[in-house]
Each structure stands twice: as structure tokens, then as C-alpha cells.
Amino acid sequence: LQYFDELDEAQQTGLLNQIEALDLSLLDLIKDGVKEVPKGKLAPLGAVTLGEIKEKKDTYKKRGLEAIRQCQVGAVLLAGGQGTRLGYDQPKGTVNIGIEHDIYIFECLMKNLMKVTDEAGVPVPLYIMTSVSNNRDTIEFFEEHKYFGYDRSYVKFFKQEMVPTVDFKGRVLMASETELAMAPNGNGGWFSSMVVDGMLEDVHKRGIEWINVFAVDNVLQQIADPLFIGATLASGCESGAKVVRKAAPDERVGVLCTEDGRPSIAEYYEMTDEMATARKENGDLLYGFGVILNYLFREDKLEEIADRHMPIHVVEKKIPYMDEKGNRVKPEKPNGYKFETLVLDMVHMMNDCIPYEVVREKEFAPIKNRDGVDSIDTARELLRGNGVLL
């Protein structure tokens, strides 16, 4: 409140309202140091492998296309993140990764989706999650680019909720004299945000029974993939997850397995060395399939869990803030915590989940960092490998 007296009445009221809306119980999570939620008993979970998919290709595809044509499948694009590692001020989806000509991340995703909808002959309803801070820019971008040729009546935007950020001592950070430094509440809240923002009416009206949720930053993301849909439906499971075979035992990916008998994703640091290196008789890793943030959930099951409490993860991030002297600081290294729920915890709330193997080089080109691994350069290389002209 250092600058409170310098503010006009409306600004003062605005700031007080923000303070009043703060969920200060979040601070309990860091009171005694940051602790991750302990995992239960982990066990391996077999996947539908590439070999099996090849064998049943026609059956899966037919079933998936049927579901799409009957409008049973909707898609949710998670685009509410702040992309701090990439360090781009605009929504990540608006990054132009082209060289000879413009090609935007959002455009790659829409083109991938349109490959499916062209074949099915119907559009797939697409819900785009934005945050309070990037909502307007995202909508304007889609408008400006005419939805990249997609039927705009099938696209809806919704906003996720924001939570406060704190420094390492637990002090709430300010963005300016009048605003707290808020951040989106993680990608786990996507379905409850859809409910809060009134999307369910549309979901029901269209008769959507399955939702394919995916990340914005994988430019090779295959959306509403008929084979994946068909395989998940055929499995009788409540959810499915696209997975890639781990490149090495110590690869830093979350592995799909079971935890106390329910599906779960174990992060690399949650596995013992023994588990990470254990192999089956045929030499394959026992915990051998990593998730790529592309899931299919039964819609009625999502409604069942929508009100349930999700674990909140405390994550160290670079958070732009205003210091005591009123300077705007853009930190070069992590300076505080964000509080996030994660979509992977939703998988654990399902009774079952079928891991569906995909070829990494064809479906996984994430853009997370400015350079090095998972950067624009590595994604470009992978796009070229798939015949995309840049």
C-alpha cells in the first residue's frame, strides 16, 4: 500500500477490491517450504502401441470419424499460459515461426485440425482457453487472420481464472501501483473455467460427449485425431492420452502409469532410478511412455469432477513486478512462485486412461524455450521433416 495515498479514489477502490478477492490460503502452501504432493504406489501401465494401432487402423479410424461426424467430439486449446520461458510478450500462439513466409503457431494448429475436419466433412467445435491478460490479443489475432479458414461459428473463447503471485518470502507481488501481479491459475482449471465462463451450454447443445484437450505449444499437435478417438472409444476407458516412447530412462518427461490403482502421471523426479531403468523381458522400459499434453476425456466424467479440489503446485517462475521504489522489473531468473493446477492431475481423477502411442517425430514439436531444446529451432527442424514449408 506504499503508493495508496497517491492513487485517485477509483484506483484505490480497484486495488482494495483486488486485495479483498485474494485467496490468501494459497500462502499456507509455502509456509513451511515448498513440498510436492506425495505420490501413492506406482505401477506400470501398458499402452496401445504403434504395432497394434497399425493392425486396427481402419477400425479405429472409422469409429473416430463417425464420432466426429456425429459431433460427439469437441476440442479445447489451452492457450492461457504466459510462456515465460520463451519470453514473448504476446500470446504464444501468435509467434511467427516462418522463414520464407509467415507461419504462426496458431496457424499450424488450425491447419492440423483442418486436415481432420476436411476428411470428416464437418468442423469440430473448438474452445480456446485464454487468460485475462491475453484474451483480447488472442481473439483479435484470430479475427485478423480470419480463423485461418476455419468455420468461426465453431470457435469459442473462454477465460481462465487468475491467482496472485508471491516472492520467495511469500510477499504478494505488485505489477504496478494499482495492480497486483496476477498469473493464470495453471492448465488444470480448464474445465471448471469452461463451466464458469458458460461454455457448457454450447457443449450440451451440440451433444459433445468427448473432449480432446491439447497444448498450444506443440506445432505438430494432431487434434481430434480419428484413430486416437477410435482407439479410446474401443478401449471402453473414460480417458485417453497420447504418449511417446521415452528416448532414454532419464528423459525428463511425465510417465503415464498407475498410482494406487488409478491412472496417473509420474514426473521424472518422482521415480526412483530403479523404476526409471526397469525393463520388460523384451527390453522395453517398464515405465516407457511419456505424455505430450494431448488427452481425450469423457465429458460426463469431467462434469463429475469439475467441483473437486485439485492439487495446487507451487512453481518457481520469472514474474515481472514492481519493486519498492516503483521500478518495473523483468527478472532474468526465477524470482517468485506461481500457484498452478495441472491437467495431468485430472487424469488421476479418472477411473481409467488408455495410453496411445504416437511417433514422436511426427506429433511432438514443443516450443518452450528461446533456444536449445524445445525451441523454435528444434520445432522448425521437425516441421521440415514433416514436409512443412517454412
> Which residues within the stretch 360-379 sit at the binding site for ligand UTP (CB under 6 A)?
368
**Which residue number, 61 or 368, has a Cβ lying nearer to ligand UTP?**
368
Pick one of 45, 63, 73, 82: the residue that binds ligand UTP (CB under 6 A).
Answer: 82
How far is CA 319 from each of CA 60, 241, 331, rounded to the nearest angstrom? Answer: 45, 31, 7
**Which residue number, 118 or 140, has a Cβ lying nearer to ligand UTP?**
140
Q: With the C-alpha atoms ordered 288, 291, 295, 298, is the resulting torsion angle positive or negative?
A: positive
Q: How far apart are CA 221 and CA 126, in angstroms?
A: 14
Q: What is the DSSP letter of 308?
A: S
Least Cβ distance, residue 32 to ligand UTP (angstroms): 25
Q: What is the DSSP letter of 165?
A: -
For ligand UTP, which stretch binds (CB under 6 A), given 143-151, 167-175, 210-218, 357-365?
210-218
Helix (H, G, I), strand (E, B) or coil at 282: coil
Residue 173 cell numbers, joined: 507481488
Pick one of 26, 103, 129, 276: the residue that binds ligand UTP (CB under 6 A).
Answer: 129
For ligand UTP, which stretch binds (CB under 6 A), given 83-91, 138-146, 151-159, 281-289?
83-91
Q: How far apart are CA 269 and CA 277, in angstroms?
A: 13
Rg of the chain in Å (alpha carbons): 21
Q: How far apart are CA 352 and CA 236, in angstroms?
A: 9
Q: What is the size of the binding site for ligand UTP (CB under 6 A)?
A: 20
**Which residue number, 217 or 299, has a Cβ lying nearer to ligand UTP?**
217
Q: Say if residues 371 and 63 touch (Cβ distance below 8 Å).
A: no
Pick one of 29, 79, 223, 350: the residue that binds ligand UTP (CB under 6 A).
Answer: 79
**Which residue number, 167 or 352, has a Cβ lying nearer to ligand UTP?**
167
Least Cβ distance, residue 369 to ligand UTP (angstroms): 8
Residue 83 lies near ligand UTP (rule: CB under 6 A): yes
**Which residue number, 81 or 240, has a Cβ lying nearer to ligand UTP?**
81
Q: How far apart are CA 172 and CA 164, in angstroms?
A: 7
For ligand UTP, which stretch binds (CB under 6 A), given 4-12, 214-222, 251-259, 357-365?
214-222
> Which residues within the stretch 134-193 sit at the binding site for ligand UTP (CB under 6 A)?
160, 184-187
Reference 350, options 318, 303, 386; nearest CA is 303
Beta bridge partner(s), residue 182: 164
Place of cell 477509483: 10
Binding residues for ligand UTP, rule: CB under 6 A, are 78-86, 129, 160, 184-187, 215-217, 340, 368
